[in-house]
Amino acid sequence: MSRSSKEVPVGSFSRKSRDNRSDVEQSRATYQRALALFDQKRWSEAADGFAEAAGADPGSSSCRLFLGVSLTNAGRWEEALEPLRACLDLRPEYSEAHNALGMALGKLGRFADADEHIVHAARLGHPQAATTMRRRGIDYCRECHRPVHRTEPGTFDVNVISPKVGVQCTACDEVFCVPCLLGDADSAFNVPCLRCGGELTVMELDR
Ligand SMILES: [Zn+2]
Ligand SMILES: [Zn+2]
């Protein structure tokens, strides 16, 4: 191998890494400016800044989270979905991003999709998501994590049990969905709690 053929790749590599470093510094400065706008509740201007910072830093989950939240707060819910999904691609168990995506989907009236992300955020310990979950009368199966719904008190008909209904143990409070309880059984109501063997009851909305 000749001397020049060694030097060319090394030279181009160090030039590239210098460019990358200044890109990162640039995007950090843009990010800080956008955060200041965010604190001032200047949502659309903040979104522009976070979009620029996200473009310069493809691996940043926080740029994408703040971009999505800024757009949501600006009432631009449809636009908020893409950066929040991109954020979750980078960081699948990010409770803030699940909560933010759930809120944006809820604003768009896409409640089934919203519920998936709200219960995911709650499962990861997000306090606002836990409150939203209770307010919306939902919970999640502790076995498979799918959202389940509380029913109106006194309106439950065992003959038309919906797979979306939540069932709770009267002894240990664990929550299950009907498909997880059923397995090979004929009725979810013949099945004891999967954790403690206790008696199960259909979850009702708070009166
Ligand atoms: Zn389940
Ligand atoms: Zn139990």
43-91 confidence digits (pLDDT tens): 999 999 999 999 999 999 999 999 999 999 999 999 999 999 999 999 9
Query: Is-contact 120 138, C-beta < 8 A?
Result: no
Largest separation between any pair of C-alpha atoms in the chain: 85
Decide: residue 139, CB within 10 A, 0-12 exposed, 13-18 middle, 19+ buried.
buried
pLDDT at residue 137, rounded to an integer: 95
CA 205 to centroid of ligand 2, rounded, Å:
20
Which ligand has an atom closest to residue 193 CA?
Answer: 2
The CA–CA distances, whole Å, from 111 to 68, 77, 88 equal 18, 14, 19
CA 7 to centroid of ligand 2, rounded, Å:
68
For the four alpha carbons of 128, 134, 138 and 139, in that order, the dihedral sign comes to positive
ipTM of the complex: 0.97
Q: How many residues does the chain have?
A: 207
**Which H or E run includes 17?**
helix 3-39
Residues at Cβ < 5 Å from ligand 2 ion: 169, 171-172, 174, 193, 195-196, 198
Residue 167 pLDDT more than 90?
yes
**Could you give the CA distance from residue 28 to residue 49 in angstroms, rounded to a whole number?**
11
Q: Residue ranges per domain, the chain? A: 137-207
pLDDT at residue 161, rounded to an integer: 66
